[in-house]
């Protein structure tokens, strides 16, 4: 067999898997059995710009819950831009979070609206009120780590959510200390510092949960492309996280993050790049 023929079979097999995966059932997934976090467990809080972001970037939170006993709380910052879909999107978020054992809160009844940098500039008073709502949620639950999109994640609500969270943390004053984990999806970060491995079982849980966001994945089946995205994260993470010219870690799937400490009213410089394998203690990302 010629090399070209062998690689053609490889590519055709991948294409066939992607096509076949689109016929897999959506929604109504049975939650995976998991132990409840112990009393006083550390909290990871996801400040998600849309329902579905909690799953797309859920690799590290899910590992923290499964392996280290953390409590994961997802805060739906918005329920999307279409008012007619918000009730359905809330229901889908409930199903997805139940599937992986995340708690779910809404930043406000019906979610916040127009979370964009444009509104921050045009209507600072209403923006400050929304920042205070998030500040109160953070203060009430006292998370050890908050997750949010990075500041250039292309989508206007992702970029707006980043700034809204920064403003909320600043509103809590200089005594606040926690870890901030920045995520990516629509535009890659230029300076991630953490690559987190995911095994097939945990990734399958995320893909299943993402399929609970039925309305979104029917228009754009990004649930079935999530494994391919995580494969490419290994390629990127090898050099962006570990250093130019470094060999890729022996991971099949991974998600990239930027982890920084928030202290004295602002970000501290990021720690050096690190890889967190399935065999590593996952909470070491905060060491």
- Which string of DSSP letters, residue by residue, matches 112-143? ----SHHHHHH-HHHHHHHHHHHHHHHHHH--
Mean pLDDT of 75-101: 96
Tell me the pLDDT band of 193, cut-offs 50, 70 and 90.
Answer: very high
144-178, pLDDT tens digit by residue?
999 999 999 999 999 999 999 999 999 999 999 99
Domains parsed from the chain with CATH numbers: 40-286 (3.40.50.10320)
Mean pLDDT of 207-224: 96
* pLDDT for residue 35: 81
* pLDDT for residue 66: 96
Question: DSSP states of 154-211 as a string?
Answer: SSHHHHHHHHHHHHHHHHT-TT--EEEEEE-SSS--SS--EEEEE-HHHHHHHHHHHT
- Please provide the average confidence, as pLDDT, over all residues in the chain: 96
Burial of 220 (0-12, 13-18, 19+ CB in 10 A): exposed
Q: Please, are residues 145 and 180 in contact by the beta-carbon 8 Å criterion?
A: yes
Give residue for tokens 């090898």.
238
Tell me the pLDDT band of 34, cut-offs 50, 70 and 90.
Answer: confident
**Residue 195 — φ and ψ, nearest 5°?**
-120, 120
Nearest in space to 54 (alpha carbons), one of 230, 165, 210: 210
94-148, pLDDT tens digit by residue?
999 999 999 999 999 999 999 999 999 999 999 999 999 999 999 999 999 999 9
pLDDT at 218 exceeding the cut of 90: yes
Q: How far apart are CA 250 and CA 193, in angstroms?
A: 17
pTM across the whole model: 0.96
pLDDT at 32 exceeding the cut of 80: no
pLDDT at 33 exceeding the cut of 80: no
């Amino acid at each position: 067999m010629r090399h070209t023929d062998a690689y053609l079979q490889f590519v055709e097999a991948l294409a066939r898997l992607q096509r076949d995966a689109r016929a897999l059932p959506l929604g109504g997934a049975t939650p995976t059995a998991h132990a409840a976090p112990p009393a006083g467990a550390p909290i990871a809080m996801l400040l998600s710009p849309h329902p579905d972001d909690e799953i797309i970037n859920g690799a590290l939170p899910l590992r923290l819950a499964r392996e280290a006993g953390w409590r994961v709380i997802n805060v739906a910052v918005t329920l999307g831009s279409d008012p007619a879909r918000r009730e359905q999107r809330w229901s889908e978020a409930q199903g997805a979070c139940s599937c992986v054992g995340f708690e779910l809160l809404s930043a406000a009844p019906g979610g916040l609206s127009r979370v964009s940098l444009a509104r921050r500039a045009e209507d600072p008073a209403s923006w400050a009120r929304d920042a205070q709502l998030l500040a109160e949620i953070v203060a009430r639950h006292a998370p050890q780590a908050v997750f949010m999109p990075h500041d250039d994640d292309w989508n206007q609500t992702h970029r707006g959510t980043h700034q809204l969270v920064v403003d909320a943390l600043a509103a809590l004053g200089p005594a606040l200390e926690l870890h901030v984990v920045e995520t990516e999806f629509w535009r890659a970060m230029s300076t991630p510092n953490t690559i987190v491995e995911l095994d097939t079982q945990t990734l399958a849980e995320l893909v299943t949960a993402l399929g609970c966001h039925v309305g979104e994945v029917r228009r754009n089946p990004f649930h079935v492309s999530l494994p391919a995205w995580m494969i490419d994260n290994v390629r990127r993470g090898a050099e962006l996280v570990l250093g130019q010219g470094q060999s890729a870690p022996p991971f099949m799937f991974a998600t990239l993050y930027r982890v920084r400490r928030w202290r004295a009213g602002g970000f501290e410089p990021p720690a050096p790049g690190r890889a967190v394998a399935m065999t590593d203690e996952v909470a070491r990302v905060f060491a």
